[in-house]
Chain A
Amino acid sequence: DAMVIQNPRYQVTQFGKPVTLSCSQTLNHNVMYWYQQKSSQAPKLLFHYYDKDFNNEADTPDNFQSRRPNTSFCFLDIRSPGLGDAAMYLCATSADRGPYEQYFGPGTRLTVT
């Protein structure tokens, strides 16, 4: 059973054209995370939501924004994608703040042309 769902799995966008990636979860978890993973690199945390509380990483570019309209859904908006933003974007959830397992979605592979 899918627990963390990401749509679409593959996304192609043009340089500078805004794009939105979607994540949903059936776990009713309080915390949702967005990671960027470039080829042959480790996942890099962009930001996370604890309930409605948004927590941005200091080195996340302003070009990346996020919305969490309800517990189940979280969106990643890239306002003006550059070629360097091509990557796998991973959504993850955890039950609550604290030392709990993070459950990852399958990822969305973003290509920028």
Chain B
Amino acid sequence: GENVEQHPSTLSVQEGDSAVIKCTYSDSASNYFPWYKQELGKRPQLIIDIRSNVGEKKDQRIAVTLNKTAKHFSLHITETQPEDSAVYFCAASFNNNDMRFGAGTRLTVKP
């Protein structure tokens, strides 16, 4: 089955700086890679996702890159704001059949 590793486990940045979170996956058949933001006590919320037929996707301050050959994908947040502070999870699956999440990254944006 799929195995997803995520780094770093904690990340602290100054407001306005960029944050990068990296994930690797094991199953070359995986074709869907979402990123979720989860605030304390709340549901995971999708912030961006990428499918295996593209290498990069951007939505305002958030971007995701995918390297299928190396089996890794990364989340980039630019111009970070205090409200970006949360736990971020990457995930990977083949057609959502067996979604596997990374262990999470606790991002703290200091004002």
Instruction: Collect the chain B residues with CB atoms within 8 Å of residue A64's CB.
Output: none
Partner among B1, B44, B95 whose Cβ is within 8 Å of the Cβ of A90: B44
A106 touching B42, Cβ below 8 Å:
yes
A51 located at the interface, meaning its Cβ lies under 8 Å from any Cβ of chain B in the complex: no
Beyond A41-B103, A42-B101, A104-B43, 17 additional pairs, beta carbon < 8 A = A42-B102, A42-B103, A43-B44, A45-B100, A90-B43, A97-B95, A97-B96, A98-B96, A99-B49, A99-B52, A101-B46, A101-B49, A102-B46, A102-B96, A104-B44, A106-B43, A107-B43
Chain B contributes a number of interface residues (CB within 8 A of A) equal to 24
From B32, B52, B89, name the one whose CB has the most chain A CB atoms within 10 angstroms. B32
User: Which chain B residue shows the least CB distance to A42?
Assistant: B101
Question: A42-B89, A99-B32 given as contacts; is B51 within 8 A of A104 (CB)?
Answer: no
A99 touching B96, Cβ below 8 Å:
yes
Q: How far is the CA of A106 from the CA of B51 in the complex (A)?
A: 26
Q: How far is the CA of A98 from the CA of B32 in the complex (A)?
A: 8
- 0 or 1 for each of B91-111: is its CB under 8 Å from A? (1 = yes): 001011111111110000000
Residue ranges of B at the interface with A (Cβ–Cβ < 8 Å): 1, 31-32, 34, 42-46, 49, 51-52, 89, 93, 95-104
Q: How far is the CA of A90 from the CA of B45 in the complex (A)?
A: 12
Dominant SS among interface residues on chain A: loop
A43 touching B49, Cβ below 8 Å:
no
Q: How far is the CA of A106 from the CA of B45 in the complex (A)?
A: 10
- B68 nearest CB across to chain A (Å): 14
Chain A contributes a number of interface residues (CB within 8 A of B) equal to 25
User: Which chain B residue shows the least CB distance to A107?
Assistant: B43
23 interchain pairs, CB-CB under 8 A? A40-B104, A42-B89, A42-B101, A42-B102, A42-B104, A44-B101, A45-B98, A45-B99, A48-B97, A90-B43, A97-B97, A98-B95, A99-B32, A99-B49, A99-B51, A99-B96, A100-B96, A101-B34, A101-B46, A101-B49, A102-B96, A105-B43, A106-B42
